[in-house]
């Protein structure tokens, strides 16, 4: 019999290992990659933050589930009216629950921490903007750094409470259904005296349901506090943000609902303990009624009062919108001064600003990019992702130019095999450059650098035209293998090359295994 637990444990460890091996390999590969690009500390910032959060979250989840389990288990024993006599069975049950609780708590803590780690870091490292919103007088940093985490935790807590209610109800109905089945078959049942629809539920888990119901109503109250705060994001009025209706009607109703929900929490808690359904129904009905009335009243005020006098009633909120938009873009302290146009341009003015005039752009980026891709692709597997506008010293003079890198488009390769994508076509080749202020006789960009190999009419030197790390590089390349890399086409043949740069992850034996 002793071999059975060992066998089960071994199977569990094997399955856990198989499940984790992919995660472990991905973790090691990420370390190699972030180390190569010089951001290893950034990667570990997330890892350390997640683990720091997992520890308290695991303890909270584990202890909370344990307490609820102990409480619910005691209720089940009382409900069934039995006495535990099998100590060995009890020990096994506790061990099984310990394992399940550990796994569930680990999953909860990992999911929560990996999902909200950044928001938690924002919350704990927030700084004040020293700008307060005009409605609630809260620093704007609260909305940027703190409110997102508060809303996330609120949603998780509500979900947990609803889950606990469902677990409690399912457990009760399963036991009650079993009792009814036994009773119909005329068997002597330990719980044949249980009332299924009367007060059995509250006798079974009255304390648990009372506490959970109380917390749910507290969450309803807190939820409407959050809804009130979020009125600053309202789009009901003529301007974005809280409007006349939001501040005078909606906010008032929200405050009332907050208070009513707190009172309802106490009433429902006491009603569950005393097995009284009527106060519970009345409390919930009161909140629902307020929510419905708020919707009708707010809509009515907005449509029949505000819209007919919008300019007057919404004026302060429009001003808030303008003022805070100016603050957000840091243009609130700019002095507006009229610019007087003087129509006295002289030849001297033109000479003094010759560099600026010579670089006036007459080409547009979009049609130039289309022309680059039509004329300078050279081969179907090359392409230009975009054009950059830059300034270069060309033959002793600063010129504004269009420049684009010719990269490999792995999706266009024929045949599109793994070998071609990762071993052969590993890099793009060369750049194309043209002036922004001149065109050919056909009205097309006038190239300064073009073709393969590069034809260069400038004094700019291309020390290495090979592009291994480009804007379109979204796949890996394996270099310095026994297969030569395609370099560029030359006439009817292809030139080859081997990568000789310092960058990249070295393919050691272990790395080959991890990347396989």
Tens of pLDDT, residue by residue over 358-404, are 888 888 999 999 999 999 999 999 999 999 999 999 988 889 999 99
Together in a domain, 318 and 281 = yes
As a whole number of angstroms, the distance between CA 88 and CA 388 comes to 75
Together in a domain, 301 and 440 = no
433, part of any domain? yes
Together in a domain, 437 and 487 = yes
Together in a domain, 173 and 206 = yes
Q: What is the pLDDT of residues 102-152, one digit of tens each?
A: 888 888 888 888 889 999 899 989 999 999 999 999 999 999 999 999 998
Say how many domains are in the chain.
2
46, part of any domain? no
Together in a domain, 251 and 377 = no
Host domain of residue 372: 352-515
Structure pTM? 0.71
Q: Report residue 131 as tokens.
A: 């700008």
Tokens 């146009």, residue located: 341
39, part of any domain? no
Together in a domain, 266 and 358 = no
Q: Report residue 228 as tokens.
A: 């009130």
Together in a domain, 412 and 322 = no
C-beta separation of 279 from 213 below 8 A: no
C-beta separation of 462 from 433 below 8 A: no
411, part of any domain? yes
User: What's the confidence (pLDDT) of residue 78?
Assistant: 66
Q: How confident is the model at residue 186 (pLDDT cuts 50, 70, 90)?
A: very low
Q: What is the 3-state secondary structure (H, E, C) of 459-495?
A: CCCCCCCEECCCCCCCCCCCCCCCCCEEEEEECCEEE
83, part of any domain? no
Together in a domain, 479 and 360 = yes
C-beta separation of 157 from 185 below 8 A: no
Strand order of the β-sheet with 397-405 is: 388-394, 397-405, 431-439, 445-450, 455-456
421, part of any domain? yes
62, part of any domain? no
Together in a domain, 182 and 313 = yes
What's the DSSP call for residue 139?
A: B
Q: How confident is the model at residue 175 (pLDDT cuts 50, 70, 90)?
A: low
Together in a domain, 379 and 255 = no
236, part of any domain? yes
Together in a domain, 305 and 387 = no
Together in a domain, 425 and 324 = no
């Amino acid at each position: 019999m002793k071999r059975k637990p060992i066998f089960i444990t071994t199977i569990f460890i094997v399955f856990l290992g198989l499940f984790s091996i992919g995660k472990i390999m991905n973790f090691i590969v990420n370390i190699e990659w972030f180390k190569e690009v010089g951001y290893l500390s950034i990667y570990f910032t997330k890892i350390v933050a997640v683990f720091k959060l997992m520890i308290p979250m695991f303890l909270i989840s584990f202890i909370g589930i344990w307490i609820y389990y102990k409480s619910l288990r005691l209720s089940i024993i009382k409900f069934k009216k039995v006495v535990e006599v099998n100590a060995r069975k009890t020990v096994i049950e506790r061990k099984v629950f310990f394992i399940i609780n550990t796994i569930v708590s680990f999953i909860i803590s990992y999911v929560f921490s990996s999902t909200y780690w950044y928001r938690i870091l924002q919350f704990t490292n927030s700084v004040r903007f020293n700008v307060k919103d005009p409605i609630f007088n809260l620093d704007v940093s609260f909305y940027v750094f703190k409110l997102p985490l508060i809303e996330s935790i609120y949603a998780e807590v509500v979900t947990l409470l609803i889950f606990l209610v469902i677990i409690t109800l399912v457990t009760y109905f399963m036991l009650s259904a079993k009792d009814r089945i036994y009773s119909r078959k005329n068997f002597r049942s330990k719980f044949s005296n249980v009332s299924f629809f009367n007060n059995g539920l509250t006798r079974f888990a009255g304390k648990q349901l009372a506490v959970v119901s109380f917390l749910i109503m507290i969450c309803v109250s807190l939820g409407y506090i959050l809804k009130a705060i979020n009125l600053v994001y309202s789009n009901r009025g003529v301007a974005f943000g809280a409007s006349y209706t939001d501040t005078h009607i909606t906010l008032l109703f929200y405050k009332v609902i907050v208070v009513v929900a707190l009172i309802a929490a106490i009433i429902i808690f006491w009603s569950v303990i005393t097995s009284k359904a009527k106060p519970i129904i009345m409390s919930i009905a009161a909140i629902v009624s307020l929510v419905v009335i708020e919707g009708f009243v707010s809509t009515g005020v907005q449509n029949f009062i505000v819209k007919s006098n919008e300019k007057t009633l919404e004026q302060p909120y429009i001003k808030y919108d303008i003022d805070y938009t100016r603050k957000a873009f840091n243009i609130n302290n700019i002095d507006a001064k009229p610019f007087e146009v003087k129509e006295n341009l002289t030849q001297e003015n033109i000479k003094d600003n010759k560099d600026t005039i010579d670089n006036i752009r007459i080409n547009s980026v979009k049609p130039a990019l289309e022309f680059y891709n039509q004329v300078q692709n050279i081969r179907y597997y090359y392409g230009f992702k975009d054009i950059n506008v830059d300034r270069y010293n060309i033959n002793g003079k600063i010129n504004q130019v269009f420049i684009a890198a010719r990269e490999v488009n792995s999706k266009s390769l024929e045949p599109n095999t793994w070998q071609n994508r990762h071993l052969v076509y590993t890099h793009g080749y060369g750049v194309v450059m043209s002036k922004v202020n001149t065109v050919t006789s056909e009205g097309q960009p006038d190239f300064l650098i073009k073709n393969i190999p590069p034809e260069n009419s400038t004094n700019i030197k291309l020390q290495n035209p090979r592009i291994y790390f480009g804007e379109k590089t979204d796949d890996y390349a394996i270099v310095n293998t026994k297969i030569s890399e395609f370099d560029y086409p030359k006439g009817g043949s292809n030139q080859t090359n081997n990568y000789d740069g310092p960058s990249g992850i070295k393919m050691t034996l272990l790395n080959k295994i991890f990347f396989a």
